[in-house]
Amino acid sequence: MLRNQQRKIINSLWPSRIPNEEYGLRREKLVKLLKKEVKTGEKQMVIVMKGAKRSYIAPDVPHAFRQKSHFRYLNGITTPDCYYVIQCGLQESSKPTNLLFANRRTDYETLWEGPLPSETEWEKTANFSELSPTNRLIQTLEKVVDKGTAVFSNTAASDDDFLENFLKTKANSLSSVDHFIERLLVIKSDNEMDSMRDVCNLGAQTMSSMISGAKNVHNENAICGLLEFEGRRRGSEMQAYPPVIAGGVRANTIHYLDANADLSPTETVLVDAGCDLNGYVSDITRCFPISGHWSDAQLSLYEALLYVHEQLLTYAHNMEKVRLSALFRRMNELLAASFSELGLIKSTDPKEMIHLAEKLCPHHVSHYLGMDVHDCATVSRDVDLPANVSFTIEPGCYVPMDWPVKEFRGIGYRIEDDVATSSSGGIELLTAAVPRDPLEIQRLMGTAE
Ligand SMILES: [Mn+2]
């Protein structure tokens, strides 16, 4: 029967690097962390994970689906509208019980939407002892959760107030599980590092090919199409986020998402885009002149920013311990020095120079990167990083239209690469396959002299 057919979500070009056993190891580590968090008098813990719900753009027209990263991290399941519950006693020897709540599709639903993975397929990564339909969730939790239970969940701030309130009344304590998962998620296993290398390489190839096809395109939308085409034909499942494709002064709107304005041949364009592959994402920004030829002002500002970017890569590589907050301070110093030399910043007072650099680049130099583009938001950027932590390095410069130095007004640039702390010391550049050098960019576009 159709419904029993297995639908394996395997990307033939870039198969998943995560072996089934790794999901179990992640759960073990999480349970171990949470055992330290239970309060006196509590006798067991229950972790309640809610998966992403299918959402609709119009009746019967679903949005592209992406599983919640924390949910997928613990059980590997990429089906919409599921719940996953882990129950565990507090003794050293206590073995957890895993429960999956997911609805099988009817024959009619299968006819329209295709078959779901089989129970056996789900079991490989989620290793549950019971599979129940989602309408049994509350009934089951009624039995499982009592006043001696510490509940950890990802249900806060979701559209499911009912579940959140239910857990609050039933359990002895209810805490967010997010930070504990992120403490694990921020440090990548070797398999996850390979996943990051895959997706960053894919993202870099996509960006390079887009640039080589973008000479004299007339509208930002065409670049969006090129990104989709170049990414998907290489195996990207979707773009990692709505890309920023901003010609001319629109690049000064840091999260400009319209991507539909006409491009003039005298403009530069900023493209911030990533790929999504096997649950991991890349995040790359490049800037280039639409005509393939830089004006003097465009090129000199670009080179001033590129200098900062390259200094930052070297600085991070040589740091005893990488710390994103220190990298951020270093970015502001470098921007101030580089922009002064260019004549974009006129002050000679060191404090004022930093202040002006912060005005030109109002964002941080880094964020963690992994299963989400702004990954592990609860993990501080003011900590020494161990090996296998991936993050971005992305200095920018956005010159307002009323900036005192006329020639650079309205130019917006960011140069963003993905890196990871390496076990052999220093950092590994994961997006090396996309050029930054202005002449190499011209070579890609076929306009280098
Ligand atoms: Mn970024």
CATH of the domain at 6: 3.40.350.10
Q: Same domain, yes or no, for 88 and 157?
A: yes
pLDDT digits (tens, 9 = 90+) for 214-261: 999 999 999 999 999 999 999 999 999 999 999 999 999 999 999 999
Q: Same domain, yes or no, for 174 and 194?
A: no
How far apart (Å, rounded) are the C-alpha atoms in residues 411 and 402? 12
Question: How many angstroms separate the alpha carbon of residue 284 from the centre of ligand 1?
Answer: 7
Assess contact for 370 and 392: CB atoms under 8 A: no
Question: How many angstroms separate the alpha carbon of residue 360 from the centre of ligand 1?
Answer: 17
Q: Same domain, yes or no, for 166 and 208?
A: no
Assess contact for 197 and 430: CB atoms under 8 A: yes
Q: Same domain, yes or no, for 170 and 202?
A: no
Among 167, 185, 203, which residue terminates a domain? 185
- Strands 284-289 and 412-414, bridge-based pairing: unpaired
Say what the pTM is.
0.95
Find tokens 């050029």 and name the residue: 435
How far apart (Å, rounded) are the C-alpha atoms in residues 14 and 205? 14
Q: Same domain, yes or no, for 181 and 195?
A: no
Phi, psi of 73 (to 5 degrees): -60, -35
pLDDT digits (tens, 9 = 90+) for 185-206: 999 999 999 999 999 999 999 9
Q: Give me the long-range contacts of 134-139 (CB less than 8 A, separation at least 24).
A: 134/81, 134/82, 134/83, 134/101, 134/102, 134/103, 136/101, 137/83, 137/85, 137/101, 137/163, 138/163, 138/166
How far apart (Å, rounded) are the C-alpha atoms in residues 32 and 103? 30
CATH number at residue 357: 3.90.230.10
The first and second tokens of residue 131, run together, are 């599979």
Closest residue by Cα to residue 238 from 279, 208, 290 = 279
Question: How many angstroms separate the alpha carbon of residue 156 from the centre of ligand 1?
Answer: 26
Question: How many angstroms separate the alpha carbon of residue 394 from the centre of ligand 1?
Answer: 7
pLDDT < 70 regions, the chain: 1-11, 157-159
Among 169, 185, 201, which residue terminates a domain? 185
Q: What is the pLDDT of residue 157?
A: 62
**Facing residues of 368 across strands?**
391
Q: Same domain, yes or no, for 235 and 345?
A: yes
Question: How many angstroms separate the alpha carbon of residue 253 from the centre of ligand 1?
Answer: 14
Assess contact for 230 and 210: CB atoms under 8 A: yes
Question: How many angstroms separate the alpha carbon of residue 291 from the centre of ligand 1?
Answer: 26
Q: What is the pLDDT of residue 7?
A: 41
Q: Same domain, yes or no, for 181 and 319?
A: no
Q: Same domain, yes or no, for 206 and 121?
A: no
The first and second tokens of residue 279, run together, are 């649950």
Question: How many angstroms separate the alpha carbon of residue 293 from the centre of ligand 1?
Answer: 26
Which residues are within 5 Å of ligand 1 (an ion), measured at CB?
283, 392
Q: What is the pLDDT of residue 2?
A: 36
Q: Same domain, yes or no, for 242 and 391?
A: yes
Question: How many angstroms separate the alpha carbon of residue 341 from the centre of ligand 1?
Answer: 27
Q: Which domain holds residue 262?
A: 190-445
Q: Same domain, yes or no, for 207 and 248?
A: yes
Query: What contacts 437, CB < 8 A, 6 or more positions away?
Result: 306
Question: How many angstroms separate the alpha carbon of residue 409 from the centre of ligand 1?
Answer: 24
Helix axes 220-232 and 190-212, enclosed angle (nearest 10) = 130
CA 374, 368, 372, 431 torsion: positive or negative? Answer: positive
Q: Same domain, yes or no, for 311 and 207?
A: yes
Question: How many angstroms separate the alpha carbon of residue 164 from the centre of ligand 1?
Answer: 32
Q: Same domain, yes or no, for 162 and 303?
A: no
Assess contact for 181 and 70: CB atoms under 8 A: yes
Question: How many angstroms separate the alpha carbon of residue 71 from the centre of ligand 1?
Answer: 23
Among 168, 185, 202, which residue terminates a domain? 185
Tell me how many degrees the CA angle 359-331-415 measures, rounded to the nearest 5: 85
Question: How many angstroms separate the alpha carbon of residue 241 from the centre of ligand 1?
Answer: 10
Helix or strand (DSSP H, E) at 261: none
Q: What is the pLDDT of residue 156?
A: 75
How many domains are contained in the chain? 2
